Structure 1
């Protein structure tokens, strides 16, 4: 049992501002303080000794698995040798330079350089600043609007929270800001016209994007940002032909593409990048979680050849570029990244993600797709989602006040498995570490089935 009456829990309620939390309930002690103490492989353990199979890898983060001494040792060695130095005015460290080389060796061939940050949010802030700089250098000061998608997730800062297409991240924050506009999500399961094939729905999404561009004016639109697979918006793989159709529209109107690969980068789909998986040709790739398996905070903006040439031109004309973070390319974080990417290669974890991910999605579908309240089982690689509905025939959703998704996730937690109740829908999400085995997948699927039956019969 979790304890709420001890000093540590009291300190937590009195001092700790938690992310995405009902602040008043937590401060009053109405929600538990769960203190995690140890972890190994795909399991975490709280301070009371209760062990959980983490089928969401923290927050899509711990790709290499918990307890990897190779990464921990690299962090320790770097901290003892050189704990910090900045990356301003041409400075670097062995770790940061090596990691940049390793990233570019893995990135699509038309990419040129990587800029380091700490989180996916700040990496997308960097992307937008550089996109605006790019168009100013090209003499197009009006070309500044960014198109994002409803249900997309790109961060929770001011600009990145605006790009995010989930109302939870906008309400009462005066977001979205100007210069951000949203188009429809490629959410085939929730399409209005049930008669459409996937290819027809993709064509409809592209046509809606084309119409939005015509309304706003292509001369005013700088970029389109999208996750290869929608993550927090419901774990939604794109329908057939989607990215090819979108890419054609962007190319026709000279609009840059930002592929937000914070979730998909470094192997989650069974390929190094989601861009590669879907044949995208981005001008920016946002990376974070899988870069270090979250053993240390690190993100990156990978920049294409064509954008880089304009950035160089800008500094020839205007002097050093006015952008930087104090902790960019932090050597401890970079050392974690080097060890993490090497470990992923050495253990062949991307191949395991592809094989076991296919097994997860097939096994989950076979086990639960026929349930009267399961509307959709979908996924790609080591991403999987189960969407619950009130009426299967017409995909009627449950009343959100019933909190069906959170109730099922809570029932799974009682049975020792961590899944995620995704926002804006009764959707159960899975994104386990790449080291998960088929036997562990069987446990996840079995617990999911039991939990669904316990709540919905």
Structure 2
């Protein structure tokens, strides 16, 4: 059963392998990948270094899930994430992916307030159009109706704000959004709100960077009302915009959710980073929360090797430089009637169309390019190892076909 397809439907592509930013299907067809899966495969396909890291750890000890036990690989990874994360981060809780991470962060925020004697702080502020996962609480947090339809009532306790998107709101977008936040806090009551959960750059909504000045002002409002900030960096972490987009916007979140490119998708793994404030609020109380595969030793070994590749090959700097260049080249599309907006940050890019373009994906595949049109948007999240020549092929195809 494949995601987003009817039960029993066959997948559109049968993939057999890949190298760098190129996928190979079972017929031997080579497809230049603009997706990195769902943005996770930062270091590209076929990296023997990651396979060898997993094998070496598995030969020693793949995993041992028991309270009070840990492995050296998991502890080393926790230290590395604290080192890479925002300055106040001091604790790491491992998960198997992003949805689990969002659930964990929501529970931690509510639990922290419970231990502070403010158990009424249960409400989580989120945003329309945001995607935060597909488990239980996560669809309630997400502002996308398709992920809630037919599954019964969404989990309660979420209040949705407008997307942080400048184009529909105009030149005063930040003022409008901050005023809405203040009004929502007043309406709900600050003493009932545990946290704001938000992506620094909105991913599934269409690679939407916030308007200028948005994050510093939002952070000031939250601090003034004592509300925690949870940044969902599942899509943005490990090089799309910086090591973490929080640094890109000078954010100091209380909780940070990460997954995807932590292992470049080679094995499932995620993590939640917690700041000193949350640690202090929990007051040393036990956390009755776990995932069987959280902190999996082989996954941690892969993550460590993956972070070494990202750092050693300069992929964060590469993503910033190449992303800026591709965005500038795609700017040639901005005056076309079919194109509403070209936007992005780093290697998180999108072209918003005035209407969907049926057949665009098939034309791209015929040209040897795997493209991901999503409704009226074409999103680009290629592996960070994309070459200059490959980037030029992608931009040339889009400029020639988005008429």
Alignment TM-score > 0.5, same fold? yes
Cα distance, 1:262–1:406 mapped onto 2, change above 3 Å? farther
Aligned to 2:32: 53
Correspondence for 1:431 among 381, 385, 389 = 381
Change (3 A) 1:49 1:175: farther
Q: 2:208 aligns with which of 230, 236, 242?
A: 236
Q: Which residue is 1:387 aligned to?
A: 352
- Aligned residue among 262, 272, 275 for 1:304: 275
Q: What runs of 5+ residues in structure 2 fail to find an aligned partner?
A: none
State the 1:289 CA deviation: 0.8
Pairwise CA distance, 1:190: 2.6
- Contact 1:405–1:427 (Cα < 8 Å) also in 2: no
Name the residue aligned to 2:248.
Answer: 277
- Report Cα offsets for 1:239-296 as digits up to 9, x if no partner: 1111112111111111100010011111111x21100001111000111011110111
Q: 1:406 to 1:82 in 2, by over 3 A?
A: farther
Normalized per residue, the structure richer in helix is 1
2:219 matched to 1:261? no
Query: Partners in 2 of 1:160 and 1:444 — Cα distance?
Result: 33
Q: Which runs of 4+ in 1 moved over 6 A?
A: none
The size of the alignment, in residue pairs, is: 403
Corresponding position of 1:190: 168
Partner SS, residue 272 of structure 2:
strand
Instruction: Give the aligned partner of residue 338 of structure 1.
Output: 304
Q: Is the 8 A contact 2:165 2:173 kept in 1?
A: no
- Deviation readout 1:336-395 (Å, 9 max, x if unpaired): 1010001111111111111111111111113x2222211100010001100111xxxxxx
1:293 and 2:264 aligned: yes
Could you tell me which residue of structure 2 aligns to residue 212 of structure 1? 184
Q: 3-state SS of the aligned residue for 2:251?
A: coil
Deviation at 1:426, TM superposition (A): 0.2
> What RMSD, in angstroms, separates the aligned Cα atoms of the two structures?
1.4
Cα shift at 1:175: 4.1
1:222 counterpart SS class: strand
Q: Secondary structure at the match of 2:344?
A: strand
Structure-1 residue corresponding to 2:224: 252
- Structure 2 CA distance for aligned equivalents of residues 215 and 283 of structure 1: 23
Q: What's the offset of the Cα at 1:33?
A: 4.0
Query: What is the aligned counterpart of 1:361 among 315, 327, 339?
Result: 327
Structure showing greater radius of gyration is 1
CA displacement 1:292-315 (0-9 Å, x = unmatched): 10111000000000101222x142
Question: What corresponds to 1:6 in structure 2?
Answer: none
Distance 2:163 2:50 in 1: 37
Q: Partner residue of 2:85?
A: 107
Residue 235 of structure 1: how far off its partner (Å): 0.9
| Aligned CA distance change for structure 1 residues 148 and 405 (closer, same or farther; 3 Å) | farther
| 1:19 correspondence with 2:3 | yes
Residue number among 23, 39, 55 corresponding to 1:76 in the alignment: 55
Q: CA deviation at 1:446?
A: 1.2
User: Are the counterparts in 2 of residues 56 and 420 from structure 1 also a CA contact under 8 Å?
Assistant: yes
Q: Is the 8 A contact 1:409 1:428 kept in 2?
A: no
Higher relative contact order (CA 8 A, sep 6+): 2
CA distance in structure 2 between the partners assigned to 1:408 and 1:369 by the alignment: 18
Aligned to 1:418: 370
Give me the whole-angstrom Cα distance separating, in 2, the residues matched to 1:259 and 1:293: 20
> What's 1:348 paired with?
314
* Partner Cα distance (2:230, 2:391) in 1: 33
Distance between the aligned counterparts of 2:368 and 2:155, measured in 1?
41
Per-residue deviation, 1:68:
1.0
C-alpha distance 206-130 of structure 1, shift in aligned 2 (>3 A): same
TM-score computed with the length of structure 2 as normaliser? 0.97
SS of the residue corresponding to residue 274 of structure 2 reads: strand
Q: CA deviation at 1:439?
A: 1.4
C-alpha separation in 1, matches of 2:185 and 2:24: 50
- How far does the alpha carbon of each residue in 1:68-106 deviate from its partner, in whole angstroms, 9 at most, with x for none? 1111110111111112212x4331112111111111111
